Amino acid sequence: MKIIIVGINHAGTSALRTLLAQNSHHQVTAYDRNTNISFLGCGIALVVGGTVKDINDLFYCTPLKLEKKGAKVRMNHDVIAIDPKAKVVTVKNLETQEVFQDTYDKLIYAAGSWPLDIPNIPQHSNALKNVDVCKLFQHAQELILKANDPEIKNVAVIGSGYIGVELAEAYHKKGKKVTLIDLESRTLARYFDPEFTMPLEADIVRTGVKLALGERVIDFAGENGVVKKVITDKGAYDADLVIKCVGFKPNTELLPDAKKAQGGALIVDEFMRTSIPDIYAIGDANAMYHAAFGRHQQVALATNAVKSGITAASHISGNEAVKIKSVVGTNAICVFDHKLASTGISEETAKRFKMNVAVSYIEDNDRPEFMDSYTKTRIKLVYDKETLRLLGAQIGSYGAANHTEAIYYLALAIQQNLSLIDVAFTDVYFLPHFNKPFNFVLASIMQAIGLNYYKD
| Active-site residue list | 10, 42
The alpha carbon of residue 370 and the mean position of all alpha carbons in its chain are separated, in whole angstroms, by: 39
DSSP 247: -
Of 108, 30, 162, 424, nearest in space to 271 by CA: 108
Alpha-carbon distance of 427 to 445, in angstroms, equals 15
Amino acid letter for position 338 = H
Of 154, 247, 224, 193, nearest in space to 393 by CA: 193
- Neighbouring C-beta atoms of residue 21, cutoff 10 Å: 13
Of 27, 90, 107, 104, nearest in space to 280 by CA: 107
For residues 282 and 309, the answer to whether their CB atoms sit within 8 Å is yes
Alpha-carbon distance of 294 to 285, in angstroms, equals 19
Alpha-carbon distance of 444 to 195, in angstroms, equals 14
DSSP 275-327: SSTTEEE-GGGEEEEETTTTEEE----HHHHHHHHHHHHHHHTT-TT-----B
Secondary element (H or E) of residue 107: strand 106-109
In this structure, what are the phi and psi dihedrals at residue 3, rounded to the nearest 5 degrees?
-125, 130
Secondary element (H or E) of residue 177: strand 177-182
Alpha-carbon distance of 155 to 223, in angstroms, equals 16
Beta-strand ranges (E) seen in 215-294 are 217-223, 226-232, 236-238, 241-244, 248-250, 266-267, 279-281, 286-290
